[in-house]
């Protein structure tokens, strides 16, 4: 059973995550987080005694978990790695578009803003990206791509998606994500096809 304290901590992390997406890490103040979460101010320092940095790490961890779940759901919805990649990018395109291009990837926001300032936040972002690269590599391996190549390709896929989200927000168009979906799917199919033919 989830305790009241755990619920408050989760609510604070979720609010921090949402505000990072709309205001950036630097533009998100602790008072705004407390107000958004409808939590007592004292609870913030109780759950996050290290203040904003600790709350930022919790928000990045939450984003990592959410996107990892999206990858898993996409993998279950199709029988190919290319199809899973398309499903992930389509879902992200919907999120970005329906938010009127205000939401993107909070992990990239924190990495760009704080990667050189806070080793703890940089490491949290690195861990988040790794949590997306590893399952993507596993999907590619399941599709017949060699382990080392699968890791390299998975890194390219995640990096391409991250870039497409940023460009889509800047252009206020989901076309960059649609283009990324097409190119990523083709790339995966090209890498998987030789292995499938060999079998």
- 98-140 pLDDT, tens digit per residue, is 999 999 999 999 999 999 999 999 999 999 999 999 999 999 9
Residue with tokens 């861990």: 127
Residue 126 maps to a domain: yes
Please indicate, yes or no, if residue 158 is contained in any of the structural domains. Answer: yes
**Residue 196 pLDDT > 50, yes or no?**
no
Q: Please, which pLDDT band fits residue 161 given cuts at 50, 70 and 90?
A: very high
Q: pTM (2 decimals)?
A: 0.91
Q: Above pLDDT 90, what percent of the chain?
A: 86
24 lies in a domain?
A: no
Q: Are 118 and 53 in contact (CB under 8 A)?
A: yes
Q: What is the CATH number of the domain that holds 118?
A: 1.10.357.10
Q: Which domain holds residue 171?
A: 60-198
**Would the pLDDT of 171 be above 90?**
yes
Give 199's pLDDT tier (boundaries 50, 70, 90).
very low
Q: What angle do CA 73, 89, 58 make, to 5 degrees?
A: 65
Question: In this structure, is residue 11 part of a structural domain?
Answer: no
Confidence band (pLDDT; 50, 70, 90) for 198? very low
DSSP the chain: ---HHHHHHHHHHHHHHHHHHHHTTTT--HHHHHHHHT--HHHHHHH-TTTHHHHHHHHHHHHHHHHHHHHHHHHHH-SSHHHHHHHHHHHHHHHHHHTTT----HHHHHHHHHTTT-HHHHHHHHHHHHHHHHHHHHHHHHTT--HHHHHHHHHHHHHHHHHHHHHHHHHT-SHHHHHHHHHHHHHHHHHHHHHHHH-
Number of domains in the chain: 1
Q: How far apart are the first and last CA of the chain?
A: 48
């Amino acid at each position: 059973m989830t305790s009241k304290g755990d619920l408050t901590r989760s609510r604070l992390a979720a609010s921090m995550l949402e505000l990072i997406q709309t205001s950036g890490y630097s533009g998100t103040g602790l008072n705004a987080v407390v107000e958004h979460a409808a939590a007592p101010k004292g609870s913030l320092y109780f759950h996050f005694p290290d203040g904003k940095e600790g709350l930022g790490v919790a928000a990045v961890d939450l984003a990592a978990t959410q996107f990892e779940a999206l990858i898993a759901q996409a993998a279950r919805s199709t029988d190919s790695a290319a199809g899973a990649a398309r499903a992930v990018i389509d879902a992200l395109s919907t999120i970005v578009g329906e938010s009127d291009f205000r939401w993107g990837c909070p992990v990239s926001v924190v990495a760009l803003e704080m990667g050189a300032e806070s080793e703890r936040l940089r490491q949290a972002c690195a861990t988040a990206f790794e949590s997306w690269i590893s399952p993507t590599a596993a999907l590619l391996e399941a599709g017949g791509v060699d382990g080392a190549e699968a890791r390299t390709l998975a890194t390219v896929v995640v990096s391409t998606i991250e870039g497409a989200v940023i460009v889509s927000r800047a252009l206020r168009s989901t076309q960059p994500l649609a283009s990324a979906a097409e190119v990523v799917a083709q790339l995966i199919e090209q890498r998987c096809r030789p292995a499938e033919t060999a079998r």
